[in-house]
A and B are shown apart, each in its own frame.
Chain A
Amino acid sequence: MTGITPITLPKWGLEMSEGTVTGWHLAEGDSAEKGAELVDVETDKIVNVVELDQAGTLRRIVVPEGETVPVGTLIAVFADASVDDAAIDGFIADYKPVDASFEPGADAPAAPAKAEAPAPEPAKDVKATPLARRAAEAGGVDLASVEGTGRGGKVTKDDVAKAGGGAPKRSPEEVRAENDGVHASPIARKFANEVGLGMKGLTGSGRKGRVSLKDAQAAAIAGGLWTRPATVSRGPVATAAPAGAGAEQPFTGMRKSIAKALVQSKQTVPHFYTTVDIEVDALMDLRKGMNGSADEGDPKVSVNDFLLKACALALAKHPGVNVHVSDTGVTPFEQADIAMAVAIDGGLITPVVRNVGGRGLRDIAADAKALAGKARDRALSGDEMTGGTFTLSNLGMFGVREFDAIINPPQAAILAVGGPRREAREVDGGVGFVSVMSVTLSADHRAVDGALAAEFLRTLRGLIEAPLRLVS
């Protein structure tokens, strides 16, 4: 041996075919012990560090940071002080990397990239990096004619590119014309035209021997025309108004507990969902009438109040829904204490309206209003937030059509209410418009079966579509 030790890009695992040099830990001239960290290499899966397997002096970094090269590429040279620079240059120039490519036909002698314009034989005595040599070969550039700007006047890849070995060597029109005659996928052609890669002679790995994007990219890398971008931006593409992502904001206490309870519920409670459409014209009319005839000071009755009442009556009719569920059994309740979801700044809170079934609508309205106010002021007592037997969540006012809600354990069900919409229906042989609202019952299948859920919803729909029973 010559006392020169090559360091090549390692192959980590079955699928690795190339890597990007992302950071040198040693500088040229540094000596280090066995086990010292030499260089960081990144693949599309991992970043890892190459350690020295023997002590020595780093004489030459061949692949600078940021470049992506195939497995087996010479990336650095170690040698002791007795070896002169010329010997190291010669070593690098003569170095034949292992072909670790996955491409079929890679063992076959590579056809010249441009048969009609064979690259001049690179002069051995010209100092050039391997990548520059490849670029010169691919681009048909005579290295001797290139002024080197690298260490000791060595020709670098950039020098070759400047001299016309990269994209600019041939005009885009020439490259395009060459590529038009090549059987390549249109994306490969687009890519090749962009980076200035002539594809004639490339072996295609695609259907019926077609040059694929992968083939073209490999050739472009080999030709020093292109390096694979190290990272891929995953953000949205800005259209009219860019939505920049901010830094992560840690959960507040409330969000944390909401997150925990909801994850717990969604993961452990076997949810199922049933949806019905309910015509609400009659209810709207009734509400309008009630509020129109209300005395001054009487609370306005909202759609939500009607829904609370309807749920309570439906729960009374179907007590199997008005229960708490545990791992071991079901606890029924006579009275419907209905939790209502209230959106507040920074979270969600569910105050409980007690004994909804046994109270009048105006009474319910007053209570619900007071609870919602307290919720927004964060003035609810613990008692006011616990013990619900059922939950009502209404997003109708936001124009939501329908949604599925997550059960609030240990309750067995939650009703998600969408907003009213106008819909054409067959009416007396013709077509008429009605207001329709979709409600979705999420139920815990351990306690509630599909048929019970359906019956509950049927009762609910009956009550809302013929709403007089809600006020009597």
Chain B
Amino acid sequence: MAVLTMRDALNQALHEEMERDPSVIVMGEDVAGGSGGTSGNIEAAGGIFGVTKGLKTKYGADRVIDTPISESAIIGLANGSALAGMRPVAELMFADFVGVSMDQIFNQMAKFRYMFGGKAKTPVVLRMSMGAGMNAAAQHSQTIYPMLTMVPGLKVVIPSNPADAKGLMKQAIRDDDPVMFFEHKALYSKKGEVPEGEYLTLFGEADLVREGKDCTVVALARMVPFAMKAVDKLAEEGITCDLIDPRTTSPLDEDTILESLSMTGRLVVVDESNPMCSIASEIASIAASKGFGSLRAPVEKVTAPHTPVPFARELERLYVPSPNDIEAAIRRTLANQVEGV
């Protein structure tokens, strides 16, 4: 298997799907870049994070569309072309820009199929970079997937490694529903083995990253490698954990989480989002309502604090949940137990 960065794994998935299906088109700001420039290079950027590089050269300007800075219209473009039979993959440079185009996302694409009596297909993939840790400050660092997970009609995908990124991207492009595809900025350069060619990762299927018996840890995106560190460290002391990466938050693989909880009795949920109405809250709520009988200790939530993402390095480092935070939460839940049961 080839070892690729997550960036290249995503790029490979896009290349393969564009090759396979001529209805797949790509659009966004600087997905190629350089049009109207003075260097004559019509692929000057290939996406600000390099995920769409090489696509325009290979598939041309009709299928790889550089857009003006008009986020609302970019999503509209994706929506309309999808209703008209294409499979658009639109890019928002930063997930924060969802704020500029929210209507097209949650009033329009999410609801077409339902409102139109099940007659519409909206096979849009909306790619966006997210995440703190690179000092991009309050308007370029948010992890807003909980906001979109709560919208019925949207599927939400959050890969944590290159192989999943490829499998999930190919699945997303072939999926007939709108898919929100969140790519963590701090993971783009992380490398991993990626299967060649046809490789699909189903939605709603969690990955069991580590196997254990003392505690269930659920983590997403960049928090998965962080949780691996914490879990591996504890394993040296003989404390073992199931580490679950749900990979998609809508659909969410509740069963795997509950099954693991039924065997460990303890749950730590790690989410880089702010704590209120987060995926961590949601999973804690599922544990409370559907796994109550299994719980032997209070659910531990490890999240960012309820504050915007700070710019200063020192503060941002405190803001992002760390492997140490995760380790401490696991230790807390292990030391704890529900009294009087």
Residues of A in contact with B (beta carbons under 8 Å apart): 185-191, 206-208, 210, 212-214, 232, 234-237, 239, 243
Contacts and interface: CB of A to CB of B under 8 A. Distances in A.
A214 B262 CA distance: 10
B335 interface: yes
Contact of B337 (A187, A208, A213, A234): A234
24 contacts: A185-B253, A186-B208, A187-B256, A187-B259, A187-B263, A189-B208, A190-B211, A190-B242, A206-B255, A207-B251, A212-B255, A213-B262, A213-B263, A234-B341, A235-B337, A236-B334, A236-B337, A237-B215, A237-B334, A239-B237, A239-B239, A239-B331, A239-B334, A243-B335
Contacts of B266: 237
B328 to A, nearest CB: 11
A328 B229 CA distance: 62
Interface in B204-246: 204-208, 211, 214-215, 237, 239, 242, 244
Contacts of A188: 259
A236 B296 CA distance: 8
A210 B334 CA distance: 31
Given A237-B214, A237-B239, A185 B255 contact: yes
B265 interface: yes
Nearest to B245: A186
A440 to B, nearest CB: 22
B324 interface: no
Interface string B313-341: 00000000000000000010011111001
Nearest to B216: A187
A207 B266 CA distance: 24
Nearest to B333: A237
A306 B75 CA distance: 64
B335 A232 contact: no
Contact of A186 (B215, B244, B334): B244
B242 A187 contact: yes
Contacts of B244: 186
A237 B331 CA distance: 9
A239 B208 contact: no
Given A186-B208, A186-B244, A236 B335 contact: yes
A185 B337 contact: no
A186 B207 contact: yes
Given A186-B256, A212-B259, A237-B335, 16 more contacts: A185-B255, A185-B259, A186-B208, A187-B208, A187-B259, A190-B242, A206-B255, A208-B204, A210-B255, A234-B296, A234-B338, A235-B337, A237-B215, A239-B237, A239-B331, A239-B335
A426 B174 CA distance: 54
Q: What DSSP secondary structure best describes chain B's contact surface? A: loop
A214 B263 CA distance: 11
Contacts of A186: 206-208, 244, 256
A52 to B, nearest CB: 34
Contacts of A237: 214-215, 239, 266, 334-335
Nearest to B334: A237
A185 B247 CA distance: 13
Contact of B265 (A208, A214, A232, A239): A232
A190 to B, nearest CB: 5
Contacts of A189: 208
A204 B332 CA distance: 35
A419 to B, nearest CB: 22
A243 B339 CA distance: 14
Contacts of A191: 263
B274 interface: no
A148 to B, nearest CB: 34
Most chain A CB within 10 A, of B215, B244, B263, B266, is at B263
Contacts of B263: 187, 191, 213
Nearest to A187: B259
B5 interface: no
B281 interface: no
A187 B334 CA distance: 20
Contacts of B206: 185-186
A188 B265 CA distance: 16
Interface in B252-268: 253, 255-256, 259-260, 262-263, 265-266
A119 B182 CA distance: 48
B234 to A, nearest CB: 8
A190 B204 CA distance: 18
A239 B297 CA distance: 15
Given A185-B253, A237-B214, A213 B259 contact: yes
A215 to B, nearest CB: 10
A318 to B, nearest CB: 34
Most buried by B among A185, A212, A243: A185
Contact of A185 (B256, B265, B335, B338): B256
B167 to A, nearest CB: 15
A208 B202 CA distance: 11
B265 A207 contact: no
B163 to A, nearest CB: 15
Nearest to B264: A237
A189 B202 CA distance: 16
Contacts of A187: 208, 242, 256, 259-260, 263
Contacts of B215: 237
Nearest to B294: A232
Contacts of A232: 265
B286 to A, nearest CB: 14
Contacts of B338: 234
Contacts of B265: 232, 234
A379 B297 CA distance: 42
A206 B257 CA distance: 13
A23 B262 CA distance: 27
Interface string B181-213: 000000000000000000000101111100100
Interface in B101-148: none
B206 to A, nearest CB: 6
A302 to B, nearest CB: 34
A232 B263 CA distance: 9
B145 to A, nearest CB: 20
Nearest to A242: B335
B43 to A, nearest CB: 40
B207 A207 contact: no
